[in-house]
Structure 1
Amino acid sequence: MLLKEACVENFTDIPAVIANGAARIELCDNLAVGGTTPSKGVIAEAAKYCHEKNIPLVVLIRPRKGNYVYSDTEIKIMEADIFEAQALGADGISFGALTNDGKLDYEVMEQLGAAAGGMQLVLHMAFDEMDLPEQKKAIDWAVSEGYERILTHGGPLSASLAETQDHLKELIEYAASRITILPGGGITADNCQEIAADLGVVQVHGSKIVPLKN
């Protein structure tokens, strides 16, 4: 059975997406800029509702729009947000940090991962900013660090899934079931079954992955 992870902005749509088949929630704010960390109040209500329905809640940790190269102050903000997310009942966090030369910032990732205190760890689409050799290194590292998933479009979001499909297949093949490669970006309720079958995956992600209305 295909697991559908719904990317949800704020709390408003959570009841509807769960009712319509979402089996996991990624919670964020400001989807228009690719998502940022939601407020404490939103996380608290989302966690309460999701847990009543036995649905895992993953919280996006991203302090601002733009690139994924963060200052020391921004890293402190992300760390504090991770502590809050855990205290409010989140089951996992989705985050990513890069260096100026387009590599995963392993030092920052280790620092933020340590703050998670046992929550599920997800490397988000910052992954798509790296070239293939760096992505393979990141996959190996994420496996060694116990990450659950890597969320990826297989290329820039401006590219269609048809254009990124071959790259996604290469990533899935390289991961070799050591970690879940979670396709996202352009996957909807209408095309998710076909895309999942073509890629050979059993989990998909998207903001339109299930209908918002019955």
Structure 2
Amino acid sequence: MLKEACVENFTNVPELISKGAGRIELCDNLTVGGTTVSHGVAEVTINYCHGKNIKVMAMIRPRGGNFVYSKEELEMMKQDLVHLKELGTDGVVLGCLNDTGWIDEEAMITLLDLAKGLEVTFHMGFDQISSGNQFKAIDWLVKHGVNRILTHGGPADTKIADNLVRLKEYIDYANGRIIILPGGGVSNKNLHLITSVLNIREVHGTKIVD
């Protein structure tokens, strides 16, 4: 079982790795769902993790709030992605929607082109896509080479244990074409329940290890 620990700075990274974190999602400002970290945090964390043979997934998000970005914000994301790629991140975590609640296809294709050679996770912006379009969104992300989808399986204010049926539907529909990565409330306390019901190999959370 690969445990991806979500962190908002370097401080706890050594301890989390020592306790079993197998991958790090690196972001800032977790209170708003995560934004892009500074150069210094990124460089030190990536170098440390690579010294421990641990991969780093870096958040590409210029602000909190919704996932509909202006052309200026998209430009920030492009520059941050290129910069983090140069620093050696193993992957990026991103997602763009339009004002109809669908994937901003043009923005995503631009970012995915810059991310070639990296792993890509589409983040919990996925949960803002209307439920009727989420299976179509899985198909689109598969077609465009995205590696995984980080999802809570429902609204952010729900317990992830109450969303297992929906998460299982995503997993069954994806059918191995893309990794469905449950997150948002996964902890070492409910980890066994979630992994046994969903039969998954990767999980994500801020409290994923003891």
Instruction: State the TM-score, normalizing by the size of structure 2.
Output: 0.98
The Cα offsets for residues 110-168 of structure 1, whole Å up to 9 and x where unpaired, read as 00111113111110000000123321122111111221110000011101123211111
CA distance in 2 between counterparts of 1:121 and 1:131 reads 22
Aligned mates of 1:116, 1:198 — CA distance in 2: 33
Q: Where does residue 22 of structure 1 map in the other structure?
A: 21
Which is worse superposed, 200-209 or 162-171?
A: 162-171
Residue 56 of structure 1 deviates from its aligned partner by 0.6
Deviation at 1:61, TM superposition (A): 0.6
Counterpart position of 2:101: 102
Whether the 8 Å contact between 1:139 and 1:175 is mirrored in structure 2 is: yes
8 A contact 1:104–1:134 mirrored in 2 = no
SS of equivalent residue, structure 2 residue 93 = strand
Aligned Cα RMSD in Å?
A: 0.9
CA–CA distance in structure 1, aligned partners of residues 198 and 161 of structure 2? 11
Task: Output one character per residue of 1:91-114: Cα deviation in whole Å (capped at 9) or x when no partner.
Answer: 000000001010011111000111
Query: Quick one: distance in 2 between partners of 1:50 and 1:148?
Result: 21
Q: Secondary structure of 2:67's partner?
A: coil
Give distance in 2, aligned partners of 1:102 and 1:141.
Answer: 14
Could you tell me the TM-score, scaled by structure 1's length? 0.96
What amino acid maps onto 1:204 in structure 2?
A: V
Q: In structure 2, give the amino acid aligned to 1:41.
A: G
Report the Cα distance in structure 2 between the residues aligned to 1:44 and 1:90, rounded to whole angstroms. 9
Query: What's 2:59 paired with?
Result: 60
Query: Which SS does the other structure have where 2:37 is aligned?
Result: coil
Tell me if structure 1 keeps the 8 A contact 2:4–2:24: yes
**1:117 alignment partner in structure 2:** 116
| Identity value in percent | 50
Corresponding residue for residue 167 of structure 2: 168
Q: Give the Cα–Cα distance (whole angstroms) in 1 for the partners of residues 94 and 178 of structure 2.
A: 16
How many residues end up aligned between the 2 structures?
210
Q: What is the alpha-carbon distance in structure 1 between the residues aligned to residue 9 and residue 107 of structure 2?
A: 27
**1:50 alignment counterpart:** 49
Extract unaligned runs of 5+ from structure 1: none
Q: Is the 8 A contact 2:161 2:194 kept in 1?
A: no
**Partner amino acid, structure 2, of 1:99:** N
User: Partners in 2 of 1:120 and 1:161 — Cα distance?
Assistant: 25
Q: Which aligned segments of 4 or more residues in structure 1 are displaced greater than 3 angstroms?
A: none
